[in-house]
Amino acid sequence: MSPFPIILSAPSGGGKTTIAKALLARRPDLGYSVSSTTRAPRPTEVPGRDYYFLTRAEFLAAREQGAFAESAEVHGNLYGTRRSEVERVLAGGQHVVMDIDVQGAVQFTRAFPQTVTIFILPPSAEVLLDRLRARKTESPAQLAARLQSALQELQQVSEYEYVIVNDDLDRAVASVESIVDAEEVSRERVKNLRQQVGLLIERLEQEIVNTTPES
């Protein structure tokens, strides 16, 4: 089995960043693709760990050079996934976790068709609003823009292979882990399946010939 990308998408406040962080803390077989953005850093964010923070001109130049596997304008800022970032994590033998929006997810799965796509839903609109307000990272205008985008994002849920309701955090993280574990043994991902089964058949056929009594 080769490592594969895992996309987590959710409306803003759905919990994708929290789930991604918890997953990465728990599973050494997972790595993170650090996105690039033109958004300003939040007080707790560290450049190069949470995002590569670029000016709009830097972002557009990198996009022009084909550096991004996908990019999108979200809530008035540009976001993108560098191809090299994904390839670095995969080459290190880890699955690569990505927290990207629905427009980016569609583009990305075209470039990397082996991607697993997971949509995170809040348990209710009230819980989503409470979590967003409690996070206190957006101004009222930014919050309104995020709610507007949330409406469009929720309509795209049918594009995703898996859906997880983020009620209890531990349960949500465990569900993502179960998906990763199951995908690792999905038939399409098993390496050299034909050869493996071919060898088994060949050996069993020999045994049948050797042990069948002559009549």
Residue 114 C-beta: closest distance to ligand ADP, Å:
24
121 near ligand 5GP, rule: CB under 6 A: no
Nearest CA among 112, 187, 121 for reference residue 158: 121
Nearest CA among 8, 40, 4, 2 for reference residue 21: 8
CB nearer to ligand 5GP: pick between 70 and 183:
70
Site for ligand ADP, residues 161 to 200, rule: CB under 6 A: 166, 168-169, 172
35 near ligand 5GP, rule: CB under 6 A: yes
70 near ligand 5GP, rule: CB under 6 A: yes
Nearest CA among 96, 40, 72 for reference residue 149: 72
Instruction: Indicate which single residue of 6, 7, 10, 102 sits in contact with ligand ADP (rule: CB under 6 A).
Output: 10
18 near ligand ADP, rule: CB under 6 A: yes
16 near ligand ADP, rule: CB under 6 A: yes
18 near ligand 5GP, rule: CB under 6 A: no
- Nearest residue to ligand 5GP, using CB? 104
14 near ligand ADP, rule: CB under 6 A: yes
Number of residues that bind ligand ADP (CB under 6 A): 15
15 near ligand ADP, rule: CB under 6 A: yes
Q: Which does 101 bind (CB under 5 to 8 A by kind): ligand 5GP, ligand ADP, none?
A: ligand 5GP
Q: State the residues that interact with ligand ADP by CB under 6 A.
A: 10, 12-18, 131, 134-135, 166, 168-169, 172
